[in-house]
Structure 1
Amino acid sequence: MAFTLHVPETPEDWGREPSPYDEDEVHHSFHELIQEQSQRVAASEPQVELELQDIEPDGSHQDVLGQGHTPAYSAATLRILASMPSRTIGRSRGAIISQYYNRTVRLRRRGSRSLHSVVDHAARPSLRSHDLELDPATREEEEKRGLLVRELQGLTVAQQDHMLREMPLSLAEKRCLRQESRTPRGKLRSQQDRHGVCSFCKQLKYGCVLTLHNLGLGLLSSLHALTPWHYALKRIGGQFGSSVLSYFLFLKTLLAFNALLLLPLLAFIVGVQAAFPPTSPSPTPTFTGLELLIGGGSFTHTVMYYGYYSNTTVNQQCALPGDGSHCISGAGGLPYNMPLAYLFTMGMAFFITCITLVYSMSHSFGESYRVGSTSGIHAITIFCSWDYKVTQKWASRLQQDNLRTQLKELLAEWQLRQGPWNLCGRLRRVAVLGLVWLLCLGITLGCAVAVYTFSEFLIQSPVATGQVGLLVLPLMVSVTNLVAPYLYRMLAALEQHESPVLEVYVAICRNLILKVITLGILCYHWLGRRVDILKDQCWEDFVGQELYRFMVMDFFFTLVDTLFGELVWRLITERKLKRQRKPEFDIARNVLELIYGQTLTWLGVLFSPLLPAVQILKLLLLFYIKKTSLMANCQAPHRPWLASHMSTVFITLLCFPSFLGAAIFLCYAIWQVKPSSMCGPFRSLGTMYEAGKVWVHHLEQAGPRVSWVPWVYHYLLENTFFIFLVSTLLLAVIYLNIQVVKGQRKIICLLKEQISNEGEDKIFLINEIHSVYKRKERRSFLMPTLGLGENAHLSSRVTLAETVMVT
Structure 2
Amino acid sequence: MGLFECVGLVYIFGCVYACVSVWAEPQRQTLLKNLMSLSAGERAHHLRNTPLSLSEKCELRYDNILTLYSGWQGVLSLLIYLHIWQGALKQVSSRFGTGVLSYFLFLRTLLLYNIFLSVIVILFLVLPQVIHGSSQSPNSISFTGFDILTGTGVLTNSLLFYGYYNYTEDKSCQQGNKSGSYMAGPYNIQLAYLLIIGIGLIVTCIALVYSVSKMLGENFQNFKSHGNIALKVFSCWDFKVSKKTSAKLQSENICTQLKELLCELGCDKPKQNALFRLHRLATHCFAWVACLGSTSCSVLAIYYMSTECFHFHEQCWETFVGQELYRFLLMDMVFAVLYTIFGEFVWRLISQEVLKRKRKPIFDIARNVLDLIHGQTLAWLGVLFMPLLPAIQSVKLLFLFYMKRVSLLNNCQAPRKSWRASQMSSFFMLLLWCPSFLGAAACVVYTMWRCPSSTCGPFRTLPNMFPSVRGLSSNWLSWAYTCLVDNPLFLFITAGFFLLLIYIHTQAVDGQKRIIALLQEQIENESEDKKFLIAKLQELCDQEEHS
TM range (shorter): 0.7 to 0.9
Equivalent residues of 1:311, 1:339 under 8 A apart: no
Query: 1:356 pairs with 187, 195, 207, which one?
Result: 207
Is 1:584 aligned to residue 352 of structure 2? no
Equivalent residues of 2:169, 2:184 under 8 A apart: no
- Using the TM superposition, give the Cα deviation of residue 762 of structure 1 relative to its aligned residue in structure 2, in angstroms: 6.5
Could you report, residue by residue, the CA deviation over 1:253-285 in whole angstroms, capped at 9, with x for unpaired residues?
111111122222122212222221123224343
- Using the TM superposition, give the Cα deviation of residue 307 of structure 1 relative to its aligned residue in structure 2, in angstroms: 1.0
- Using the TM superposition, give the Cα deviation of residue 751 of structure 1 relative to its aligned residue in structure 2, in angstroms: 3.8
- Tell me the residue number matched to 2:466: 689
Is 1:233 aligned to residue 89 of structure 2? yes
Could you report, residue by residue, the CA deviation over 1:21-72 in whole angstroms, capped at 9, with x for unpaired residues?
xxxxxxxxxxxxxxxxxxxxxxxxxxxxxxxxxxxxxxxxxxxxxxxxxxxx
- Using the TM superposition, give the Cα deviation of residue 722 of structure 1 relative to its aligned residue in structure 2, in angstroms: 3.4
Structure-2 separation of matches of 1:682 and 1:311 = 12
- Using the TM superposition, give the Cα deviation of residue 662 of structure 1 relative to its aligned residue in structure 2, in angstroms: 0.3
Is 1:612 aligned to residue 468 of structure 2? no
Identity score, percent: 43
Q: Secondary structure at the match of 1:231?
A: helix
- Tell me the residue number matched to 2:193: 342
- Using the TM superposition, give the Cα deviation of residue 454 of structure 1 relative to its aligned residue in structure 2, in angstroms: 7.3
CA 228–599 in structure 1, closer or farther in 2 if over 3 Å, else same: farther
Is 1:628 aligned to residue 411 of structure 2? no
- Using the TM superposition, give the Cα deviation of residue 691 of structure 1 relative to its aligned residue in structure 2, in angstroms: 1.3
- Tell me the residue number matched to 2:353: 575
Q: How does 1:152-551 map to 2 (within 5 A)?
A: 207-208=63-64, 211-213=67-69, 215-216=71-72, 219-220=75-76, 222-226=78-82, 228-310=84-166, 312=168, 335-419=186-270, 433=280, 444=291, 448=295, 451=298, 455=302, 459=305, 529=307, 533-551=311-329
Q: Secondary structure at the match of 2:112?
A: helix
Question: Alignment length, in residue pairs?
Answer: 501
Which amino acid is 1:285 matched to? I
- Tell me the residue number matched to 1:16: none
- Using the TM superposition, give the Cα deviation of residue 346 of structure 1 relative to its aligned residue in structure 2, in angstroms: 0.9
Segment of structure 1 superposing worse, 447-456 or 604-613: 447-456
- Using the TM superposition, give the Cα deviation of residue 629 of structure 1 relative to its aligned residue in structure 2, in angstroms: 1.3
CA 288–538 in structure 1, closer or farther in 2 if over 3 Å, else same: same
- Using the TM superposition, give the Cα deviation of residue 685 of structure 1 relative to its aligned residue in structure 2, in angstroms: 0.5
CA 274–531 in structure 1, closer or farther in 2 if over 3 Å, else same: farther
Q: How does 1:589-604 map to 2 (within 5 A)?
A: 589-604=367-382
**Bigger Rg, which one:** 1
- Using the TM superposition, give the Cα deviation of residue 446 of structure 1 relative to its aligned residue in structure 2, in angstroms: 8.8
TM-score (norm 2): 0.79
Structure-2 separation of matches of 1:645 and 1:369 = 9
Structure-1 separation of matches of 2:475 and 2:418 = 65
Which amino acid is 1:352 matched to? V
Structure-1 separation of matches of 2:177 and 2:407 = 51
Q: Secondary structure at the match of 2:426?
A: helix
- Using the TM superposition, give the Cα deviation of residue 731 of structure 1 relative to its aligned residue in structure 2, in angstroms: 2.8
CA 372–196 in structure 1, closer or farther in 2 if over 3 Å, else same: same
Query: 1:728 pairs with 496, 507, 512, which one?
Result: 496
Structure-2 separation of matches of 1:306 and 1:201 = 65
Which amino acid is 1:244 matched to? V
Equivalent residues of 1:192, 1:198 under 8 A apart: no
CA 211–761 in structure 1, closer or farther in 2 if over 3 Å, else same: farther
Structure-2 separation of matches of 1:326 and 1:608 = 21
Segment of structure 1 superposing worse, 713-722 or 371-380: 713-722
- Using the TM superposition, give the Cα deviation of residue 531 of structure 1 relative to its aligned residue in structure 2, in angstroms: 11
Q: Secondary structure at the match of 2:225?
A: coil
Query: 1:744 pairs with 512, 515, 526, which one?
Result: 512
CA 712–542 in structure 1, closer or farther in 2 if over 3 Å, else same: closer
Task: Quote the RMSD (CA, aligned, Å).
Answer: 4.1
Q: Secondary structure at the match of 1:579?
A: coil
Equivalent residues of 2:191, 2:468 under 8 A apart: yes
Structure-1 separation of matches of 2:270 and 2:518 = 30
CA 210–584 in structure 1, closer or farther in 2 if over 3 Å, else same: same
- Using the TM superposition, give the Cα deviation of residue 220 of structure 1 relative to its aligned residue in structure 2, in angstroms: 3.8
CA 207–455 in structure 1, closer or farther in 2 if over 3 Å, else same: same
- Any stretches of 5+ residues in structure 1 without a counterpart? 1-187, 330-334, 460-524, 700-705, 784-807
Which amino acid is 1:295 matched to? G
- Any stretches of 5+ residues in structure 2 without a counterpart? 1-43
CA 325–725 in structure 1, closer or farther in 2 if over 3 Å, else same: closer
Is 1:670 aligned to residue 521 of structure 2? no
Equivalent residues of 1:312, 1:339 under 8 A apart: no
Equivalent residues of 1:410, 1:641 under 8 A apart: no
User: Which structure is richer in relative contact order (CA contacts within 8 A, separation 6 or more)?
Assistant: 2
CA 570–593 in structure 1, closer or farther in 2 if over 3 Å, else same: same
- Tell me the residue number matched to 1:660: 438
TM-score (norm 1): 0.55
CA 759–624 in structure 1, closer or farther in 2 if over 3 Å, else same: same
